[in-house]
Amino acid sequence: MNFITLFAGCANLVLGLVVLLKNPKKVVNITFALFPATMALWAFANFYFALSPSLFLERSFYALGGLVMPLFLLWLYIFIEGRIRLSVGIMLIVSAFLLYGLPHAGSLTIADLVNKNGIYEKELGPLFNVYVVAFFANFSFLYWKLIREFRKAERLKKAQLRYILMGAALFGIVSLFTSIILPMTGFKGYLAYDAQSSLFFVGFASYTLIKHRLLDARFIASKAVQYLVLTTMILLVGFIAGILIQYTSGRMIDLAIIISTAVVTAVFFYVFEYVHKVIEEATNSVFLKNDYQTQMLIEEIGEDITSSMLIHEILFKVYEVLEKSMKTSHILVATTREGKITETYAIGYGKLIKISLEEARNLWGQPVIDEYELEKDDHRLEILKKYDSGLSFCLKTHSYLGGVFLIGHKKTGEPYTTRDIEVLEILAKQLSIAIQNAMQYEQTCHFAENLQEKVNQSTEKLVKVNKHLKDLDKAKDQFLSMASHQLRTLLTTIKGYLHMLVEGDFGELDTTQMEAIREAYVNSDRMERLIDDLLNISRIETNKFFMQGVPMDLAEIAAEEVAHLRERAESRGLYLKLSVVAGKRKNIIVDKLKLGQVVSNLIENSIFYTREGGIEVIIDRDDDGMILKVKDTGIGIPIDQQKHLFSKFFRGTNAQQVRPDGSGLGLFLGRKIIEGHSGKMFFESEPGHGATFGFSLPWQTGMEESANIKKMDSYLKAGK
C-alpha cells in the first residue's frame, strides 16, 4: 500500500509541473501548481513515515495536510474572480498559520510519538482540538465556495468546476475520514488512504485540463499522463519482479536478486517503444480523440484556399477539412462589400440561412468571439445561439473588411480547445485574404464581361461606320477618277490651243503675249501632273495601280530628268548637277515612266525649297542594288514633322510658306512607287541646312518585263 502513496506523491508533483510549465508567469497557474505540489510533499511525508517513523514526519503530515485547503482556496478565488480581496487574504493567512503552524508548535498539538508493540501512536496536545476545528472550518468553507461557484458558473467554466468539485469532494471526504474522524473513534488502520485519496483529485483535474481547457494545458497534460502511466508500469514491473524472485528463491533480496530484477527491468525497457506507443494510442483515444497535426492542418487548409478563386468552392473545402479534423458541425460566412452584406454561405446547416447586417456588425467588433467567454446577458451570445455557433471570427485585412465567419459546435459536444481556436484564428486570416482575392477576381470577371460586351457593341458600330466610310471612299474614288478624266480632256484641249498659239498658227505674237502664253502652258502642264497624281493615288487605293517593267539603267533615267529640269533650276540661280559614282552598273527592271516621275518630283521639290546653292543628283550602288540621292542646300524639314513626311496630303509648315500651292501628294506617291519596285525610300535633313532624299532599288525588283515592251523592242530590232 505504501507504493500507492509514493505514486500519489509523484502524480501530484507531475500535475503541478504540467500546469506551471504551461505558463509559469500566470498567477492562476502558479497558485494551482502550489496546491498539488503541497499534496505531493504531504504524500512523501506519509511514505517516509511508513519506512522510518519520526515525530517530525508525523507533525509534517498534519501540517502539510492542513495547508492544502488554504492553498486550494487561494487558487479558487483567483480562478473565479481574478484577484484576492483583502478580507479573503487575511482569512487565508490565518487559516494557513493555524493549519500549518499548530502541528509544529512544540507539544501543543502533537505532544509525542510512542512505540507500542511495534505500532506508533501519537499523543495529542492541548491545542489539537483547535487544529481540528480550524480544519473543519476550512473544509466546510472550501466546499461551500466550490458548490456556490459551480452553481453560478456557465458553460465552459461550469464544466471545469464540475470535475474539479468531484475530484476535490472524493479526496476531501476520504482524507477527512481516514486522517481525523476514524482515528478519533479508535480506527487507526486507515491512515495510509489519506494521502492516496489525492489521486481522485489528480485524475479529475487531469481530465479537466485535457478535455475542458482548464488553464490551457491540454496537450502537455496528455503527454504527462502517458509518461506517468508508463513510469508506473516500469515501477510495477520492477516491484513484481523483485517479489517473484524473492518468493522463488526463498531468501531475502540480495545482490543477485537485485541484478535479476534489473535484468527483467532492462527487458521491459527493450520493448519500451512498443509499450509506449500502445499507451500513447490508448491515452490519445481518450484525451485527444479526433486529434490532428496543427502544421499539417494549416498547410492543408492553405492549399485548399489557394487552389480556387471562387468563394463557395473555398468555403466547401474549408468545411470539409474542419469537419474531418475538429468534427465541426457547420460553418456560416457572410461576405461584405462597402459596408453591406453581399452574400451568406451556410454550409452544413441543411437549410438556407441569412444573417442580417446588424448581427454581422455586432460580431465585427472583436477578432475572436468565444461563447464560453461571454456573459449571459451579452447580445452577441444570443446571435451565436441563433446560428448554433460556438465561435465567431472577423474576416479582415489591413485594408479590407471581408465579413464574419461563424463556426458551429463540435459534433462530439466538446468545446473547442485553445489549440483549435489558435488554428481557426490562422484560418480566419488566410480566409480573409482568400475572400478578398476572390471578390476582386469576381469584380475583374464582371468588369471583363461588361468590357467585352461594350467592345462588341463598339465593334459592331465600327463595322457599320467602316462600311459607310468604305462606301464614301469608293464614291470619292469614282468621283476623282471621273473628274480627273474630264479635267484631263479639257487640259489636253487647252494645251493644244496654247501650243498652236506658241507655234504661230494664229499669227505672230509679241514678247509680252508670248510670255503669258508660255506661263499658261507651264501651269497647264503642272495641272496635268497633279491630275495624274490624283489618278494614281485612286488606282493605288483601289488596287488598280499597275506598272510596266523594262530593263533600264537608273543613271539614264536620272540624266533625262536632270536635263529636263536644269533650265528651271538655273532660272532660279541654282545649280543642278548629276554625279555618277564610278563602278560597274547594270540594268534593272523598272517602270521607266513612273520611276522618272519619282526622280522628277524629288528634284522639283529641291528646286522649290532651295533659295541659294543648288541640287546634286547622285547615282551610287552597293552589293544589294542601285541608290539614287537628291541632295540640296534648302530650308530643310522641322524635326517634329519628319515622321509625317510620307503621309498623304502632308506638308511641312516651312514648306507651306515657301510654296502655298503644293498638294502634299508627291512623296506619298513616290514611296508607293518605290515600294512597288521592292525598294526603300529614305531621307536625311537638318532644319536650315538642306535635305537629302533618295531611294534604293534591289537588283531584283520583283517586276517582270512587259510583253508590250518586248514586242516593241523586237519590232525596232527588225526595222534596223
Question: Cell numbers at residue 1, please?
Answer: 500500500
213: left (phi over 0), alpha (psi -120 to 50) or beta: left
623-661 pLDDT per residue, tens: 889 999 999 998 888 877 777 777 776 666 656 555 555
The DSSP string of 7-27 is: HHHHHHHHHHHHHHHH-TT-H
pLDDT at 242 over 90: no
Q: What is the SS3 assignment for 664?
A: coil
Residue 558 has a pLDDT of 92
Angle subtended at Cα 499 by Cα 495 and Cα 500, rounded to the nearest 5 degrees: 120
The domains of the chain are located at 2-216, 217-288, 294-444, 546-719
Tell me which of 166-175, 328-337, 452-461, 657-666 is least confident.
Answer: 657-666
pLDDT (mean) for 542-554: 78
Tell me the C-alpha distance between 125 and 719, whole Å: 165
Q: Tabulate helix, strand, coil % of the chain (nearest 5).
A: 65, 15, 20
Q: What is the pLDDT of residues 578-615, one digit of tens each?
A: 999 877 778 889 988 889 989 998 998 888 888 889 99
The pLDDT value recorded for residue 287 is: 52
Maximum mean pLDDT: which of 69-83, 346-360, 502-516, 550-564:
550-564
pLDDT at 234: 57
- Which of left, alpha, beta for 573 (phi over 0: left; psi -120 to 50: alpha)? left
CA 314/CA 296 separation, integer angstroms:
18
Three-class DSSP labels, 502-531: HHCCCCCCCHHHHHHHHHHHHHHHHHHHHH
Helical H segments across 98-217, by residue range: 128-152, 155-176, 182-184, 192-196, 198-211
Identify the band that residue 34 occupies on the pLDDT scale cut at 50, 70 and 90.
confident
Q: Inform me whether the pLDDT recorded for 370 exceeds 90.
A: no
Q: Which range (237-241, 265-269, 382-386, 605-609) has the least confidence?
A: 265-269
Instruction: Please tell me whether residue 367 adopts helix, strand or coil conformation.
Output: coil
pLDDT at 716: 44
Measured at the CA of 564, the angle between CA 561 and CA 570, to 5 degrees, comes to 115
Q: Is the dihedral of CA 98, 100, 101, 103 positive or negative?
A: positive
Residue 359's alpha-carbon distances to 315, 380, 403, in angstroms, are 21, 8, 11
Mind giving me the DSSP string for 46-106? HHHHHHS--HHHHHHHHHHHHHHHHHHHHHHHHHHHSS--HHHHHHHHHHHIIIIIGGGST
Amino acid at the residue 288: L
Q: In what order do the strands lie in the sheet with 575-580?
A: 575-580, 614-621, 625-632, 691-698, 680-685
Average pLDDT over residues 273-299: 62
More confident position, 661 or 75: 75
Q: What is the pLDDT of residue 556?
A: 92
Query: Which element (helix H / strand E) includes 340?
Result: strand 340-347
> Which residues, listed in sequence order, are joined to residue 406 by a DSSP beta bridge?
332, 392
Q: Tell me: pLDDT of 292 over 70.
A: no
The pLDDT of 659-676, averaged and rounded, is 76
**Mean pLDDT throughout 282-288?**
56
Q: How far apart are the first and last CA of the chain?
A: 147
Which of residues 498 and 561 earns the better pLDDT score? 561
Domain 546-719 in CATH 3.30.565.10? The answer is yes
- Does pLDDT of 176 surpass 80? no
Whole-number pLDDT of residue 20 = 76
Position with higher pLDDT, 528 vs 517: 517
Averaged pLDDT for residues 91-97: 73
The string of DSSP letters for 552-595 reads E-HHHHHHHHHHHHHHHHHHTT-EEEEEE-SS----EEE-HHHH
In angstroms and rounded to an integer, the radius of gyration of the C-alpha atoms of the chain is 56
278 versus 290: the higher-pLDDT residue is 278
What φ, ψ does residue 705 adopt, rounded to 5°? -65, 130
Element holding 630 (H helix, E strand): strand 625-632
pLDDT tens column, 685-702: 888 888 999 999 998 888
408-420 mean pLDDT: 82
3-state secondary structure of 475: helix
Query: What pLDDT does 603 receive?
Result: 93
The 3-state secondary structure of 219-271 reads HHHHHHHHHHHHHHHHHHHHHHHHHHHHHHHCCCCCHHHHHHHHHHHHHHHHC
Distance of CA 689 to CAs 376, 421, 600, 617, 636, Å? 95, 82, 22, 17, 6
- Stretch (H or E) spanning 116: strand 110-116
CA 108 to chain centre: 75
C-alpha cell at 632: 540640296
**What homologous superfamily does CATH list for 2-216?**
Rhodopsin 7-helix transmembrane proteins (1.20.1070.10)
The pLDDT, as a whole number, for residue 483 is 72
Task: Give 274's pLDDT tier (boundaries 50, 70, 90).
Answer: low
Kindly tell me the sign of the dihedral angle through the C-alpha atoms of 420, 425, 426, 428.
Answer: positive
Helix (H) or strand (E) holding 711: helix 707-719
Q: Over 70: is that where the pLDDT of 300 sits?
A: yes
pLDDT digits (tens, 9 = 90+) for 535-544: 777 667 666 6
How far is residue 15's CA from residue 77's CA, in Å, rounded to a whole number? 20
Question: Taking 80 as the threshold, does the pLDDT of residue 16 lie above it?
Answer: no
pLDDT at 44: 80
Which residue is associated with the grid cell 499669227?
Answer: 507
Check whether 259 has a pLDDT greater than 60.
no
Nearest to 664 by CA among 547, 511, 534, 486: 534
Q: Can you tell me the mean pLDDT for 326-343?
A: 84
pLDDT at residue 457 is higher than 80: yes
The CB-side HSE value for 509 (13 A sphere, CA atoms) comes to 17
| pLDDT at residue 143 tops 60 | yes
pLDDT at position 58, please?
78
- Torsion from C-alpha of 179, 185, 187, 190, nearest 10 degrees: -20
CA distances from 307 to 250, 302, 310, 313, 438 (A): 73, 9, 9, 9, 11
Q: Helices (DSSP H) in 271-393: which residue ranges?
A: 272-287, 294-306, 311-325, 357-364, 379-386
Q: 294-444: which CATH architecture?
A: 2-Layer Sandwich (3.30)
CB 230 within 8 A of CB 276: yes
Instruction: Kindly tell me if the per-residue pLDDT of 28 is higher than 50.
Output: yes
What rounded mean pLDDT belongs to the chain? 76
Give residue 263's pLDDT.
44
pLDDT of the residue at 629: 94
Tell me what pLDDT residue 172 has: 74
pLDDT value at residue 692: 92
3-class state of residue 619 by DSSP: strand
614-621 and 575-580 strand pairing: parallel
Cell digits of residue 342: 453581399
